[in-house]
Amino acid sequence: MMNKGCAIVTGGSRGIGKAISLKMSEMGLPVVINYNFDKAAAKAVLNNIENMGGRGIIFRCDVSDASQVKNMISCALSEYGNIYALINNAGISQIKLFGDITLDEWHRMEGVCLDGVFNCCQAVLPNMIHNKSGRIVNISSVWGVHGASCEVHYSAVKAGVIGLTKALAKEVAPSGITVNAVAPGCILTDMLTEECSEETLRQLAYDTPVGRLGTPEDVAHAVSFFVSESSDFITGQILGTDGGYY
What residues are annotated to the active site? Answer: 154
Stretch that binds ligand NDP, among 89-97, 129-137, 145-153, 195-203 (CB under 6 A): 89-97
The least distance separating ligand NDP from the CB of residue 96, rounded to whole angstroms, comes to 15
Which of 6, 35, 128, 180 binds ligand NDP (CB under 6 A)? It is 35
Residue from the set 21, 25, 36, 235 that interacts with ligand NDP by CB under 6 A: 36
Residues 182 and 223: beta-carbon distance below 8 Å? yes
Query: Is 141 or 235 the residue whose CB approaches ligand NDP more closely?
Result: 141
Q: Are 70 and 123 in contact (CB under 8 A)?
A: yes
- In angstroms, the CA 205 to CA 215 distance is 12
64 binds ligand NDP (CB under 6 A): yes
Q: Does 141 bind ligand NDP (CB under 6 A)?
A: yes
Using the rule CB under 6 A, which residue among 5, 17, 30, 134 binds ligand NDP? 17
Instruction: Please enumerate, as own/partner, the contacts of 95-101 that have beta carbons within 8 Å and a separation of 24 or more.
Output: 95/150, 95/151, 95/195, 96/150, 96/151, 96/153, 97/150, 98/150, 98/152, 101/152, 101/153
Show the site string, 193-232: x = touches ligand NDP by CB under 6 A, - = not.
----------------------------------------
d(CA 200, CA 202): 5
Q: Is 187 in the site for ligand NDP (CB under 6 A)?
A: yes
Closest to ligand NDP by CB, 81 or 240? 240
Give the nearer residue to ligand NDP in terms of CB position, either 37 or 246. Answer: 37
**What is the rounded distance in angstroms from the CA atom of residue 142 to the CA atom of residue 17?**
17
Using CB under 6 A as the binding rule, whether residue 245 contacts ligand NDP is answered as no
- The verdict on 63 binding ligand NDP (CB under 6 A) reads yes
Quick count: other Cβ atoms within 10 Å of Cβ 246? 12
Query: Which parts of 109-138 interact with ligand NDP (CB under 6 A)?
Result: 112
CA of residue 176 relative to chain centroid, distance: 21
Core vs surface per residue 13-24: b (16+ CB within 10 A) or e: bbbbbbbbbbbb
Q: Which residues of 46-60 are buried (b: 16+ CB within 10 A; e: fewer)?
A: bebbeeeebebbbbe
Residues in touch with ligand NDP (CB under 6 A): 10-11, 13-17, 34-38, 41, 62-64, 89-93, 112, 139, 141, 184, 186-187, 189-192
